[in-house]
């Protein structure tokens, strides 16, 4: 399977197989015809009502209308920015101030700030779908035009918008369709929120290959009883999630091949795949292929993959992160020098899936994006090495970016917002690890003057103040109050010492 253009591939499925299922909820099924017809109606509306090509914000959870809005934005020659409904107001304001959108499609219930941005809500959206059928021709765009923008944690407290172009996405999609033994018409689990680029791993391989998305919504995922009931009945072939999520699912004993005989693939990305998880899956799903994939949002979801076997688990102390995709080069670097196989250094990725940079943020772009042999390259901040056979091994981070329950965050961003709290004089956040996985975030806080009688009251107040800007998963579980923070020789807060204290050995 090879795709020449994402939108046209989806249009072709709608033209040739209009009744094919594209989105299967438990109560309702949608077809390719419905997707493309609605997207055309909405794209037409954008063309009639918008005066600029600025990106379109799409606000909501896993819903069919989200796909329609993404496709409509692309068809009208505009990029889209997915935002989850649980995003705090101040964070949304920060994103809007960076992105300067002209339009927001609010599929979720918009409780956000009053902003001077045109808005289409769910009711209007349905009126647009049902309006007179519009003749539509996709607006032509160049390969370098931005397809989507995903905002990710930024060290200074302002999220960074990673711009992914049509050619970036095409490079990723063609790799997934060729290197994972995926077939046309498969059913993919859709669980990752659209604001996390892992969702792209099910969304576009499915839509360009005549496949179907089967959503597991947040409401189900957050209710274990319901989740465990649904899991053994999911009509899917391809599982896409973080290892953290599948670990939860493995608590359900009926999550196995005998209940899910159609399951042929597991694709993992976004964080380290623990050996125990991989081993449990090989035992529960002996007929399925299990892939570990690796990559940052800045290089379009993933750039390497390896099929996990018992042999691989026996041969390596940590699960390898894969062989590099054909059109891409990984260089292991230290101080600007290229290292050899077997040497540990920073993983630097160059190739056609590397982003052009962060939206309206030349400073951060210049810091992370470089060129190697004339090719755009991204410095991942990941530490790793290549084996002689070209297998990439992961050894952790060079900076203070972490993954917690699969979510990417910069510890500095949490520090920044903690320090903005009126109850905090100084603060630094430290991850507590268990078997290479972050288990807890601990904030060391020098409190500002306050009149709380009890510590828990202070903690409640601090958490409430940072919760106005930080996503819920970024809020430290534990606050430790100290009179002062340790400092390095040159007077900076010494996070490393605290990390060693929290994680002895
Ligand atoms: P994100 O941009 O959210 O996909 O996060 C990218 C970061 O997640 C990478 O730079 C790595 O630090 C980490 N990561 C992604 N995939 C893996 C993997 N398979 N194993 C270990 N870490 C991973």
Ligand 1 binding pocket includes 410 (Cβ within 6 Å):
no
User: Is 397 labelled a binding residue?
Assistant: yes
Tokens of 334: 């230290």
Distance 197 CA to ligand 1 centre (A): 11
**Residue 23 labeled ligand binder:** no
Which residue has the least CA distance to atom 10 on ligand 1? 296
Please state the three-class secondary structure of 26-42 as a single string. Answer: CCCEEEHHHHHHHHHHH
**Poorest-pLDDT segment among 12-26, 98-112, 312-326:** 98-112
Q: Is residue 381 part of a domain?
A: yes
Q: How many domains does the chain have?
A: 3
Task: State the pLDDT at residue 169.
Answer: 98
Instruction: Give ∠ CA 87-91-97 in degrees, rounded to 5.
Output: 130
Residue 237's CATH number: 3.40.50.12780
DSSP-derived 3-state class of residue 199:
helix
Domain co-membership, 388 together with 414 = no
CATH number of domain containing 414: 3.30.300.30
- Full domain range(s) for residue 92: 6-294
303 in any annotated domain: no
In short, whether 346's Cβ falls inside 6 Å of ligand 1 is no
What is the bridge-based pairing of β-strands 238-241 and 265-268? Answer: parallel
CA-nearest residue for atom 3, ligand 1, is 408
Ligand 1 neighbourhood includes 294 CB (under 6 angstroms): yes
CATH code of the domain covering residue 339: 2.30.38.10
With respect to residue 52, please indicate whether it lies within any of the assigned structural domains.
yes
On the CB side of 213, how many CA atoms lie within 13 Å of its CA? Answer: 29
Whose Cα sits closest to atom 23 in ligand 1?
271
Strands 345-350 and 329-334: antiparallel
Does residue 90 share a domain with residue 31?
A: yes
Both 120 and 101 in a single domain? yes
Q: For ligand 1, atom 22, name the residue with the nearest CA.
A: 271
Choose which residue among 192, 397, 403 to substitute to test ligand 1 binding: the one with the highest number of ligand atoms within 8 A of its C-beta: 403
Query: Is residue 460 a part of any domain in this protein?
Result: yes
H-run or E-run covering 9: helix 6-16
Please work out whether the CB of residue 277 comes within 6 Å of at least one atom of ligand 1: no
Neighbours of 397 (CB within 10 A): 14
Residue 485, both tokens? 């923070």
Choice from 271, 277, 384, 397 to test ligand 1 binding pocket (greatest atom count within 8 A of CB): 271
Residue 106 annotated as binding site: no
pLDDT tens-digit series, residues 239-288: 999 999 999 999 999 999 999 999 999 999 999 999 999 999 999 999 99
Provide the residue count of the chain.
505
Cα 377 from chain centre: 20
Mutate to test the pocket of ligand 1, among 242, 244, 294 (most ligand atoms within 8 A of CB): 294
What pLDDT was estimated at residue 114?
A: 78
Q: Report the alpha-carbon distance of residue 446 to residue 481 in Å, rounded.
A: 6
Q: How far is the CA of 409 from the centre of ligand 1 (A)?
A: 11
CB atoms within 10 A of CB 133: 11
Read off the pTM.
0.94
Cβ of 243 less than 6 Å from ligand 1: no
Q: Do residues 362 and 491 both lie within one domain?
A: no
Express the helix, strand and coil content of the chain in percent, nearest 5 each.
35, 30, 40
| Higher-confidence position of 156 and 341 | 341
Quick check: is 170 in a domain? yes
- The pLDDT confidence band at residue 157, using thresholds 50, 70 and 90, is confident
3-class secondary structure, 192: coil
Residue 50 structure tokens: 């918008």
443, HSE (Cβ side, Cα atoms, 13 Å): 27
Residue with the two structure tokens 């290292």: 339
Kindly tell me if the per-residue pLDDT of 331 is higher than 80.
yes
Q: Give distance in angstroms: CA of 126 to centre of ligand 1.
A: 38
CA–centroid distance, residue 301 to ligand 1 (Å): 9
> Quick one: what percent of the chain has pLDDT higher than 90?
94
Same domain, 425 and 376: no
Specify the pLDDT at position 287. 97
To the question of whether residue 335 is assigned a binding role by annotation, the answer is no
116 and 257, same domain (yes or no): yes
CB 46 within 8 A of CB 57: no
31/133 same-domain check:
yes
- In three-state secondary structure terms, 420 is helix
Separation CA 109–CA 358 (nearest Å): 28
* CB contact set of 489 (below 8 Å; sequence gap of 6+): none
Residue 27 confidence (pLDDT): 87
Site of tokens 């601990």:
442
Average pLDDT for residues 173-183, to the nearest whole number? 98
Q: Assess whether 139 and 286 both reside in one domain.
A: yes
* Last residue of one domain, picked from the residues 396, 429, 447: 396
Minimal-distance CA residue to ligand 1 atom 20 = 272
Using the predicted structure, report yes or no on whether residue 44 has a pLDDT greater than 80: yes
Residue 302 lies in a domain: no
Q: Is 446 annotated as a binding residue?
A: no
User: Both 200 and 85 in a single domain?
Assistant: yes
The pLDDT assigned to 492 comes to: 84
**Whether residue 147 sits in one domain with residue 80:** yes
Pocket probe for ligand 1: among 152, 296, 379, 400, the residue whose CB has the most ligand atoms within 8 Å is: 296
Tell me whether residue 310 is in a domain: no
Q: Is 292 annotated as a binding residue?
A: yes
What is the 294 CA–ligand 1 centroid distance (Å)? Answer: 6
Which residues share a beta bridge with 268? 241, 292
Establish if 282 belongs to a structural domain. yes
Closest-lying ligand 1 atom to the alpha carbon of residue 394:
21
Whether residues 391 and 414 fall in one domain: no
Q: Does 462 share its domain with 388?
A: no
Q: pLDDT tens digits, residue range 220-229? A: 999 999 999 9
R_g of the chain, CA atoms, integer Å: 23
296 lines ligand 1 (CB under 6 A): yes
CB 174 within 8 A of CB 3: yes
Instruction: Say what the pLDDT of residue 181 is.
Output: 97
Q: pLDDT grade, residue 177 (50/70/90)?
A: very high
**DSSP string covering 309-330:** -HHHHHH-SS---EEEPTT-EE
Closest CA to 396 of 437, 432, 434, 428: 437
Q: What is the mean pLDDT of residues 85-91?
A: 92
Whether 209 is in the pocket of ligand 1, judged by its Cβ within 6 Å, is: no
pLDDT tens digits along 384-407? 999 999 999 999 999 999 999 999
Verify whether ligand 1 is closer than 6 Å to residue 437 (CB atom): no
Take atom 7 of ligand 1 and give the residue whose Cα is closest: 296
Between the CA of 242 and the centroid of ligand 1 the distance, in Å, is 10
Query: Angle 440-444-448 (CA atoms, 0-180°, nearest 5)?
Result: 140
Average pLDDT, rounded, for the chain: 96
């Amino acid at each position: 399977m090879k795709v020449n253009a994402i939108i046209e591939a989806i249009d072709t499925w709608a033209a040739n197989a209009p009744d094919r299922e594209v989105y299967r909820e438990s109560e309702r099924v949608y077809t390719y015809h419905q997707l493309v017809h609605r997207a055309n109606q909405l794209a037409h509306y954008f063309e009639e009502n918008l005066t600029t090509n600025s990106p379109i914000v799409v606000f909501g959870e896993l819903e069919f209308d989200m796909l329609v809005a993404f496709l409509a934005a692309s068809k009208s020659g505009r990029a889209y920015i997915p935002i989850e409904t649980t995003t705090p107001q101040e964070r949304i304001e920060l994103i809007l101030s960076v992105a300067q959108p002209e339009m927001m499609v609010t599929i979720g219930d918009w409780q956000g700030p009053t902003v001077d941005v045109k808005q289409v809500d769910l009711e209007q959206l349905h009126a647009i779908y049902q309006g007179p059928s519009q003749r539509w021709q996709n607006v032509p765009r160049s390969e370098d035009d931005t397809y989507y923008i995903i905002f990710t944690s930024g060290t200074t407290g302002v999220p960074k918008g990673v711009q992914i172009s049509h050619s970036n996405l095409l490079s990723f999609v063609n790799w997934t369709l060729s290197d994972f033994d995926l077939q046309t018409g498969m059913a993919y689990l859709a669980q990752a929120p659209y604001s996390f680029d892992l969702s792209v791993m099910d969304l576009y391989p499915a839509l360009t290959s005549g496949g179907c998305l089967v959503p597991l919504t947040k409401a189900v995922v957050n209710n274990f009883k319901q989740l465990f009931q649904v899991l053994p009945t999911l009509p899917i072939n391809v599982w896409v999630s973080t290892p953290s999520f599948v670990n939860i699912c493995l608590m359900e004993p009926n999550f196995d091949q005998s209940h899910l005989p159609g399951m042929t693939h597991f694709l993992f990305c976004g964080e380290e795949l623990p050996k125990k998880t991989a081993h449990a899956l090989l035992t529960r799903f002996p007929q399925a292929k299990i892939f570990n994939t690796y990559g940052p949002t800045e290089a379009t979801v993933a750039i390497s993959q390896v099929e996990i076997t018992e042999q691989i688990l026996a041969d390596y102390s940590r699960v390898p992160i894969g062989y590099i995709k054909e059109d891409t080069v990984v260089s292991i670097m230290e101080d600007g020098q290229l290292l050899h196989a077997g040497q540990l250094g920073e993983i630097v990725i160059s190739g056609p899936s590397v982003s052009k940079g962060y939206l309206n943020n030349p400073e951060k772009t210049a810091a992370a994006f470089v060129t190697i042999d004339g090719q755009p390259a991204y410095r991942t901040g990941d530490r790793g090495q290549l084996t002689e056979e070209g297998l990439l091994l992961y050894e952790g981070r060079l900076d203070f970016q972490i993954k917690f329950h699969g979510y990417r965050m910069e510890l500095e961003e949490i520090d920044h917002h903690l320090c903005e709290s009126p109850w905090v004089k100084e603060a630094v956040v430290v991850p507590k690890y268990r078997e290479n996985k972050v288990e807890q975030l601990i904030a060391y806080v020098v409190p500002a003057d306050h009149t709380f009688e009890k510590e828990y009251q202070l903690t409640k107040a601090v958490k409430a103040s940072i919760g106005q800007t930080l996503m819920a998963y970024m809020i430290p579980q534990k606050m430790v109050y100290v009179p002062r923070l340790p400092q390095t020789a040159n007077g900076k807060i010494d996070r490393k010492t605290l990390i060693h204290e929290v994680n002895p050995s």
